[in-house]
Structure 1
Amino acid sequence: MLLGFAMMGFSVLMFFLLGITILKPFMLSTQREESNCTTIRTHIMDDWLDCVFTCGVDCRGQGKYPCLQVFVNLTHSGQKALLHYNEEAAQINSECFYTPKCHRDGNDLLNSARDIKEFFDHKNGTPFLCFYSPDSQSEDVVLTKKYDQMVIFHCLFWPSLTLVGGVLIIGMVRLTQHLSLLCEKIQPCSQR
């Protein structure tokens, strides 16, 4: 019985935690459809953006990071759009492909931006999978979706399975107890 109640409690806790961390952001996020994109142009802006970094308890500082812009052509509409790495990157900075972790070494940040730029420059003309928002007036395009339907399925399937398993265990224990009581009632009569 304790195992069944523990499984039921654990499943309710999983529903709560996964609902807050995954299901709620998924429900609030923009629904996106698949499309193919081709790179039109990549550009590292001359003006670097400000950021704050921490490197320990007593270490804080101001830094700057390069803004990489990747312009793509959506094949479904033929429209030019700015590509973002994911929805979170689009919300943090709508002008840049992504926002790197801020730290002191500006050369390291510039080299990583150049590496990504080079990657997209080599894809020039080659279609790749991207996701767009059909409801949005401006074509907001992301390279990767944070959550897909399989993640949502697993967030609901495993807690539900644990809940059903806990209910079955409790039901089987109660059934066994009921059958043993019936057996005790029947046995004294048969012995007479």
Structure 2
Amino acid sequence: MNHKVLKILIIGLMAALSYIAFTFMQIKIPTPAGMTSFHLGNTFCVLAALLLGGLPGGAAGAIGMGIGDLLDPTYVIVAPKTIILKLGIGIITGLVAHKVMHIQNKEGKELRRAVFISAFSGMLFNVIGEPIFSYFYTTVILGAPDKAAKALASWNAITTGTNAIIAVIVSSLVYLAIAPRLKNNGVLKKLSPKE
């Protein structure tokens, strides 16, 4: 199979998994300025970035969770924010994984460390960016009162931190479980971005 076709298929798969994990494995929390939630959607955005690189990984998360927002009446107004943040998660994770840590060239303990640092970097971006971006998006774009926007940002900080911990652990474990098999059959080399 052509490596470009394989990448597109993996992006689609990860987008679908992001959508499913976000939509159906979610605990919604209402706040005065909108909804926030605990969910597993970021896990597949990070996993896609580890497998494919930053932009494809970010695209998978942005597509999957963006569609999740667009199809949910409580989240539809924040879909642009979601798309931007998930794209950022993927870009940061992929940049660290493939350009800084070079995970495609590591094995054993070095690989585990590099994968964890890469996943952590992408989710750290989200932990910092989500509450800040959410506050400004809620006040400037949606016109919510300052007090309500601060309440939403506070709740977002809590849920985003929890989601980040779960995403780092699960995506790292899944990548480490499938990477040796993908490497042995040559698929990982086809998926990984060129250095």
* TM-score, shorter chain, exceeding 0.5: no
Higher percent of residues as strand: 1
Higher relative contact order (CA 8 A, sep 6+): 1
Q: Which has the larger radius of gyration?
A: 1
Smaller-chain TM-score bracket: under 0.3
